[in-house]
Amino acid sequence: MCGIVGYTGPKEAYPIVITGLKRLEYRGYDSTGVALLDNGLKVYKKKGRVSELEQTIFGKDLHSHCGIGHTRWATHGEPSDRNAHPHVSASGKLAMIHNGIIENYAQLKQELTNKGYTFTSETDTEVLLNFIEDIRENNQCDLEEAVRVALKRVTGAYVILLLDTDNPDTIIAARKGSPLVIGVGNGEHFLGSDASPMLEYTKDVVYVNDYELAIVKPDELILKNLGNEKITPFITKLDIELAAIEKGGYDHFMLKEIFEQPSTIHDCLRGRLDADAGTITMSGIQNNIEHFKEANRIIMVACGTSWHAALLAEYIIEELCRIPVEVEYASEFRYRNPVINKGDIIVAISQSGETADTLVAIERAKENGAIIFGIVNVVGSSIARISDGGAYTHAGPEIGVASTKAFTGQLAVLTMMALKIAKEKKTISEERYRKLLLELEAVPEKVDAILKNAGDVKKIAEKYKSAGDALFLGRGYNFPIALEGALKLKEISYIHAEGYPAAEMKHGPIALVDENLPVIFIATQDSYHEKIVSNIQEIKARKGKVIAVITEGDDIIPGMADDVFYVPPADEIIAPMLSTIPLQLLSYYVGIAKGVDVDKPRNLAKSVTVE
C-alpha cells in the first residue's frame, strides 16, 4: 500500500517521478505528492489521483534533478491535502515519504510535543520525520546517522525516502517490511516500490532488504545495515518489458489481464509440463521432494484471492497426494500460536509477494523451524526471497486491483505441484496422472474459447447490474470458485455478494432468496452435479434468479436457469480454472455498467503492505 518513487541523476526528476507514480497508483490512490530539490525544497501534494496533481501543478516550477513522489493509501488520517505525502520537517530542511505504519507513533509524538513540536497532519509519517530531525539536531550528527538512531526506536513497517536541503543530490532510504527497489543507471539511480518506474531506463536493480539503509547519489549507491556496516549491493537483472505494464489497447488493465490468461497460463505451464513425456519439471518441488513426500501436513497461508487458490489446492492435494492440508488466513495465523510440527510444510501464496500479513506469518513460521514454500507472481518480491523454495506463477505484472490472471496462474502451479508430489508418492494411478497432464495442457485453449463468448457475459451483466446482493454457490472443487466469484463482484461492482458451499445454503442464506436475488451457481459436470441440480431447484422453488456456469452439452440446467455461461468439458480438478473466467468477466462488466473505476475500486489497493 502506498507507492513511492525517487530519482537522482542528470535528468529532470519530475517527469520520471510523476510517470512512476502513475505506474504505482495501483498501490493506493487517496492522495499524491512530490518533493523536488533545487535551491531548496519544492513540495506539491493533493488529495486524489496522480492525474489531478499533475493538472494542478502544470506550469509551476518543477525543475530538479533529485525528487521523490508518493501515492497514498490512507492509514493514519483521512485522505486530504494536508495528510498527503511528502511531509516537511519543522525546520523545512527535510522532506519525507513513507509506505507502512509506525506503530509507536503516538508515543513518539507525545515526546516531540513535550519538546514543543507541532504537527500539520494526522500522519505517523510526520511524527517519524520530526523524530529524525530532532535526533539530528540534538546529536549533532548527519542525516544518515539520525535515521539509523530513529529507526532503532521505531516499531512497525516502513519504507522511507528522505530529501535534505543540505545534500541536494542525495536520497536516503530505509526499509523494513515494505518493498524497495533501487534501479542502477549510468550516473543515476531510481527508487520505487516496485521496478515499474524505472523499466525504460535500466534493467539492473537492487532489492533492498529489511533493516537496510541506502544512501543514494547519482553515481553512488551505498547500502548499510542499521549497525552502520557496509553491504555490497546485489544487482539483479529485470526480466520485464515496458509493454507488460501498459494497457495494450484494452480499456482497462483488468480486461487486459482477463484476456491475457490463455498466454499467462501457457507461460506458467511452459517448460514445466510435458504431457507427452509424462513429466512435470519444477525444481522448487524437486529440491524439496523428500520433505513433501514425508510431510505430515501442509499449511497454506494466504489472503484474499490467493486464499481461494489455497482452498482449492486443499481439495486437490488431499485428493491426489493424501497429505492433510490446512488453509489459513495469514492475518489470523500470524497472531495465533499455531502448532507447527516437524514435518509440516508452510506454503505461502501471494501475487504481490509483499502482503504484510502473509510475509509476517511465514517469518514467524520460519522462526519455528518450518519449511517455507512460496508460490508468488512478482519475481524478487519479499515472500519469494524469504522462502526456502518455491515456484513463480509467471503471470507477468498484474496491475488491476482485482486479481485475475494471477489466480489462474496460482491454480496452474498448485495443480502441477499436486500432480508432481502425487506421482512421486505413488498416490495417483499412471492413467489418471497422464489424463490430468493432458487436461492441464489443454487449459489455455479452453480459456481462449470461453473468452470468445465474453459478449454473452456482457449482456447478462447488464441484466443484473442493479442487484443489491448476490449469492455464489458451488460444491467441491467449485466451492472456492464461488468464494472467488463473490469477492470479485464485491470489489469491482460494490454489490454485496456472498459465496457458500451450495448445500450450506439451506442452513441460513436461503432466507435471503426472493425474486430479486441473483444466485450464481458454479455447476460444471462433476461428481456433485446431481446434487447441485437439486440445489438449483431449491432456489427456483423460492423464485430466486439463477445464473449458472455449466459445461457445454449440459441439457438439464439450461431448462431451469434464467441465464447460463458455458465452459468446455474438463476433469473436475481442472474445471475450476475454466469456471472462474466467466465470473471474472461478469464482475468486470457489471462494474463497467455501474460506472465503477474497475482498475482502482474505492478503498482498495493492490499490494496490502499494512496489517
Task: Please name the helix (run of DSSP H) or strand (run of DSSP E) that holds residue 187, with its range, or none.
Answer: none
Cα separation, 160 vs 208, in Å, equals 12
- Site stretch for ligand M6R (CB under 6 A), options 33-41, 362-370, 400-408, 534-542: 400-408
Q: Return all residues near 544 (Cβ < 8 A) that are at least 6 apart.
A: 471, 513, 514, 515, 517, 518, 519
- State the greatest distance between any 2 C-alpha atoms of the chain, in Å, as a whole number: 81
Q: Is 303 in the site for ligand M6R (CB under 6 A)?
A: yes
203 is catalytic: no
Rank residues 303 and 583 by Cβ distance to ligand M6R and give the closer one: 303
Q: Find the binder of ligand M6R among 188, 491, 563, 611 (CB under 6 A).
A: 491
Rank residues 89 and 99 by Cβ distance to ligand M6R and give the closer one: 99
Q: In the complex, what is the shortest distance from the CB of residue 359 to ligand M6R, in angstroms, rounded to a whole number?
A: 9
- Site stretch for ligand M6R (CB under 6 A), options 189-197, 283-291, 301-309, 538-546: 301-309
Q: In the complex, what is the shortest distance from the CB of residue 606 to ligand M6R, in angstroms, rounded to a whole number?
A: 7
Rank residues 233 and 480 by Cβ distance to ligand M6R and give the closer one: 480
Q: Is 352 in the site for ligand M6R (CB under 6 A)?
A: yes
Q: Is 351 in the site for ligand M6R (CB under 6 A)?
A: yes
- Site stretch for ligand M6R (CB under 6 A), options 350-358, 384-392, 495-503, 524-532: 350-358
Cα separation, 502 vs 521, in Å, equals 8
Rank residues 184 and 303 by Cβ distance to ligand M6R and give the closer one: 303
| β-bridge pairing 31-37 and 66-72 | antiparallel
Rank residues 267 and 354 by Cβ distance to ligand M6R and give the closer one: 354
Which residue has the closest beta carbon to ligand M6R? 304
Cα separation, 177 vs 236, in Å, equals 20
109: three-class secondary structure by DSSP: helix
160: three-class secondary structure by DSSP: strand
Q: Is 402 in the site for ligand M6R (CB under 6 A)?
A: yes
Q: In the complex, what is the shortest distance from the CB of residue 123 to ligand M6R, in angstroms, rounded to a whole number?
A: 23
Residue 114, classified by CB atoms within 10 Å of its CB into exposed (0-12), middle (13-18) or buried (19+), is exposed
Catalytic residue among 2, 268, 303, 321: 2
DSSP at 203: S
211-230: which residues touch ligand M6R (CB under 6 A)?
none
Which of 88, 93, 121, 124 is CA-nearest to residue 106?
Answer: 124
356-395: which residues touch ligand M6R (CB under 6 A)?
358
Q: In the complex, what is the shortest distance from the CB of residue 400 to ligand M6R, in angstroms, rounded to a whole number?
A: 8
Q: Please report the sign of the dihedral spanned by the C-alpha atoms of residue 443, residue 579, residue 283, residue 422.
A: negative
Cα separation, 84 vs 48, in Å, equals 9
Q: Are 130 and 117 in contact (CB under 8 A)?
A: yes
- Site stretch for ligand M6R (CB under 6 A), options 347-355, 423-431, 498-506, 554-562: 347-355
Catalytic residue among 22, 256, 490, 606: 606
Q: Find the binder of ligand M6R among 174, 213, 401, 548 (CB under 6 A).
A: 401
Phi first, then psi: what are they for 158, rounded to 5°? Answer: -160, 150
Q: In the complex, what is the shortest distance from the CB of residue 437 to ligand M6R, in angstroms, rounded to a whole number?
A: 27
Rank residues 523 and 610 by Cβ distance to ligand M6R and give the closer one: 610
- Residue 282 to residues 241, 254, 272, 342, 414, Cα–Cα distance (Å): 25, 29, 6, 24, 11
Q: In the complex, what is the shortest distance from the CB of residue 259 to ligand M6R, in angstroms, rounded to a whole number?
A: 17
Beta strands, E only, 151-243: 156-164, 171-176, 181-184, 189-192, 204-207, 212-217, 220-225, 230-231, 235-237
Cα separation, 209 vs 371, in Å, equals 20
425 is catalytic: no
Q: Is 304 in the site for ligand M6R (CB under 6 A)?
A: yes
How many residues form the binding site for ligand M6R (CB under 6 A)? 17
Q: Is 608 in the site for ligand M6R (CB under 6 A)?
A: yes
DSSP at 503: G
Q: In the complex, what is the shortest distance from the CB of residue 480 to ligand M6R, in angstroms, rounded to a whole number?
A: 13
Q: Find the binder of ligand M6R among 89, 331, 355, 387 (CB under 6 A).
A: 355
Q: Find the binder of ligand M6R among 202, 350, 493, 525 (CB under 6 A).
A: 350
- Site stretch for ligand M6R (CB under 6 A), options 15-23, 169-177, 349-357, 574-582: 349-357
Q: Return all residues near 190 (Cβ < 8 A) that are at least 6 apart.
A: 5, 6, 7, 16, 20, 182, 183, 197, 198, 201, 202
Cα separation, 476 vs 118, in Å, equals 58
- Site stretch for ligand M6R (CB under 6 A), options 105-113, 351-359, 423-431, 551-559: 351-359
Active site residues: 2, 606
List residues binding ligand M6R (CB under 6 A): 303-306, 350-352, 355, 358, 401-403, 487, 491, 604, 607-608
